[in-house]
Amino acid sequence: MAPILGIYASQISGHLFAPSGAYDSIATVTVGAGGAGSVSFSSIPSTYTHLQIRYIARSNESTNNNIAYSFNSDGAANYSDHTIFADGSSVSAFANANSSNPIFLALSNSARLASTYSAGVFDLLDYANTNKYKTTRILSGREDNSAGALLFASGSWRNTAAVNNISLAPSVGSFVQYSQFALYGIKGN
């Protein structure tokens, strides 16, 4: 019974009980009618162990498109990643070192089936720890005209600064209306 009571108690305003690993909603951005060239989360509190971004998004461009991210407005070549991409007929893997523009969150675009949005979960581990580089892990997918595409990735930001700003932008074009990004803080280990 204790876990169930913990779940109920964590839903009460003020979070009277928050088990290790509990998620708190920090901020949500929903793109309006005019679209948006980028989405940012700023003034991120340093009171959590990890961060997670959950998103649904679509681009207004017809070319292949992904979502690029940056931390603390760092546009220097301080990012690295390993990625596996599968589209229903093939699987590919690639890695980037010393990148200034890490791109590996899947994004639907105007060449895909109408009104379909990509979805993904982006974890940023130990984001406030100033003694180590930051690690990311990503699971995202999109509809590719009646076939699916999945992307798994891990990466690092070679900087020990606490992350207090995260920016996300399509590699081409803009996010369309109803694209949504939600930032969560993860407590505990």
Stretches in the chain below the pLDDT threshold 50: 1-18
Q: Convert the pLDDT of each residue in 106-127 to its tens digit.
A: 888 887 777 889 999 999 999 9
SS (H, E, C) the chain: CHHHHHHHHHCCCCCCCCCCCCEEEEEEEECCCCCECCEEEECCCCCCCEEEEEEEEEECCCCCCEEEEEECCCCCCCEEEEEEEECCCCEEEEEEEEECCCEEEECECCCCCCCCCEEEEEEEECCCCCCCCEEEEEEEEEECCCCEEEEEEEEEECCCCCCCEEEEEECCCCECCCCEEEEEEECCC
- Domain ranges across the chain: 20-186
- pLDDT value, residue 21: 58
- pLDDT value, residue 35: 95
- pLDDT value, residue 19: 59
- pLDDT value, residue 142: 87
- pLDDT value, residue 5: 39
Read off the pTM.
0.85
- pLDDT value, residue 103: 72
